[in-house]
Amino acid sequence: MLYLTQSAAVYGIDALIVDIEVNLQPVKSEVDTSPTVLIVGLPDTAIRESRERIRAAINNSGYFFPFHKTTINLAPADVRKEGASFDLPVALAILGANGDLAESDALDDTLSVGELSLDGRVRPVRGALSIALRCRANGIKNLILPEENGTEAAVVQEIDVYPVRSLRQAAAIAEGLQTGRGTPSPPLRLAAADLQTDRQKYRVDFAEVRGQNSAKRALEIASAGSHNILMIGSPGSGKTMLARRLPTILPPLEFEEALEITKIHSVAGLTGRNGLVTERPFKNPHHTVSQAGLIGGGSIPKPGEVSLAHLGVLFLDELPEFDRSVLEVLRQPMEDKQVTIARAATSLTFPSSFMLVASMNPCPCGYYGSGRECKCSPPVIQRYVGRISGPLMDRIDIHIDVPAVNFKELRGKGVPAGEASETVRERVIRARSIQLNRFAGENVFSNSAMTPAQIRRFCALDADGENLLERAMLKQGLSARAHDRILKVARTIADLDASQEIRPHHLSEAINYRSLDRNYWT
């Protein structure tokens, strides 16, 4: 007997519908009555091993595994399938072919995913949100999936999501959907507003940082225009503390942004029972991270740190300690806001629109120019700084010095308290709103993403500004890329001042943020 069900496989951050066909054929030999299970359709090792899991799950759920030659086909047959998410739909198809479910040519309106335990429990899978979105796009009305993935999938409003704990519960729901008699439990439905009630509840705040007003100003500008920033200072000056508080001044996530981030985190298995990701990501990879760990990789590519930081912050602490070849792979994602990973079998593109926040010491010992004795010779300092290539440094819009905090600021004696994150965030949101209105209909959402044509349109300078920029270019030997990035930062500073025009003092501040180049150490 032939029976058909539907499932889905995740490739990149999108899902592909997979048809599962199960055919039972009686065993002709009277000598060997043991069941034979054959899985075809380019399955990986995890899927081939599922034969024993599915057999045990069916028997331990009160059903009987058929004593037939069982052929399982995963279509399309020319696409490689991986993972254990096909356990549940294959088990349902076997039950249907064996007569344990109501007769049906196919479950056209129902899709199921889930890994099975030996006792019949259904374990969670990755990519539930991507699968739910694919169901909606293909007009599939019902989705049966593990209970732990229910909240995540129920974000998609146009489909009925049925979270299940066991194979027996999934079989009852599938039969109820086939026969039209109703299901043992209603579908799970969630409102988008209910999923975002806890957003922006951070445990840290900008007000906790003593002093460092110039660094806070630079971080505010970076947040307002989504600019990359490099902080340079001695150990203990507060670079990491400032970076960890940067997400608290970024605008709240819109619902569509939260969906986009959740898709990536779901594929990586980082969502759990929480449903939507409601806070902007903050990723802080260790300096021993590999190229594949940073940008993604694998035989079937998975997202790396740059994609997991999409619409959030990628913080690289102690930048020169990263392998130079690893840092160089950041160039393309920083420019294109996406990363493409090509393999022999497939090529996948992941979004990577992140803010790069990097920190470093001025020298290996960390105390050059700090007032404490530096034991590093000039050649040692140059080799240390030389670990960061000029092209990568050129792609960082803002370079800021973070000096050590003095005693009075540290103790708060006679020094006013710093602004709270909420106050700074309001200014950032206003600046971002100006940019959204400016770039309406142009597929650009921040000043840092402006094209050369948009820079000419929106970053016009008066005569004083032209002279100021020309002198800075000649004196510092800046590149054409640095020229454009100075104008982008100046545009952001003007937006924070609610100024339609870039004034000379806006431009001067932007130029100052490019002065900490290699000349800083010479």
Instruction: Work out the angle between the directed axes of helices 480-496 and 463-476 (0-180°, nearest 10).
Output: 140
pLDDT at residue 197 in the model:
45
Residues 53 and 148 grouped into a single domain: yes
Same domain membership, residue 116 and residue 84: yes
Alpha helices in 186-272 (DSSP H): 192-195, 213-225, 239-244, 255-267
- Note whether 102 and 244 are same-domain residues: no
Distance, CA of 116 to CA of 53 (rounded, Å): 7
SS3 359: strand
- Of 142, 158, 190, which residue is a domain's last? 190
217/334 same-domain check: yes
Predicted pLDDT of residue 422: 92
Give the CATH number, domain containing residue 149: 3.30.230.10
Read off the pTM: 0.88
Asked if omega into 76 is within 30° of 0 (cis), the reply is yes
Structural domain for 18, as ranges: 2-190
Distance CA 217, CA 221 (A): 6
Q: What's the pLDDT at 105? A: 52
Same domain flag for 173 and 297: no
Structural domain count, the chain: 2
Same domain? 154 vs 48: yes
In a shared domain, residues 129 and 266? no
In a domain, 171, yes or no: yes
Where are the alpha helices (H) located in 10-166, listed in sequence order? 45-48, 50-60, 87-97, 128-137, 150-153
The amino acid at 12: G
In a shared domain, residues 226 and 371:
yes
| CB neighbour burial string for 303-327, b if at least 16 within 10 angstroms, e if fewer | bbbbbbbbbbbbbbbbbbebeeebb
Q: Are 120 and 57 in contact (CB under 8 A)?
A: yes
Identify whether 479 is part of a domain. no
Among 403, 438, 473, residue at a domain's last position: 438
Taking the chain (522 residues) in runs of 10, the rounded mean pLDDT of each run is 90 91 78 72 86 94 89 89 91 91 70 95 94 94 94 90 95 88 84 55 84 92 95 91 94 89 90 79 94 86 92 95 93 90 81 94 86 87 88 92 82 74 94 92 84 92 94 88 93 95 94 68 46
Residue of 245, 334, 239, 321 lying closest to 286 (CA atoms): 321
- Which of residues 438, 457, 489 is at a domain's end? 438
Q: Is residue 471 part of a domain?
A: no
Do 260 and 317 reside in the same domain of the chain?
yes
Task: Give domain status of residue 228, yes or no.
Answer: yes
**Where does 412-515 have alpha helices with state H?**
421-438, 452-458, 463-476, 480-496, 504-512
Cβ-contact 15, 89 below 8 angstroms: no
Residue 401 included in any domain: yes
Q: Is residue 485 part of a domain?
A: no
For residues 87 and 58, the answer to whether their CB atoms sit within 8 Å is no
Q: Do 297 and 253 belong together in one domain? A: yes
Closest of 21, 162, 45, 38 to residue 105, by C-alpha? 21
User: Do residues 205 and 242 lie in contact, with contact meaning Cβ atoms separated by under 8 Å?
Assistant: no
Task: Indicate if 299 and 354 belong to the same structural domain.
Answer: yes
Same domain, 170 and 280: no
Specify the pLDDT at position 501: 94
Q: Is residue 182 part of a domain?
A: yes
167's tokens: 């194979």
Instruction: Please name which of 249, 20, 245 lies closest in space to residue 112, comparing C-alpha atoms.
Output: 20
Report yes or no: 334 and 307 within 8 Å, Cβ to Cβ.
Answer: no
Q: What are phi and psi of 134, to 5 degrees?
A: -65, -40
Domain presence at residue 457: no
Give me the pLDDT at residue 104, please: 59
CATH of the domain at 256: 3.40.50.300
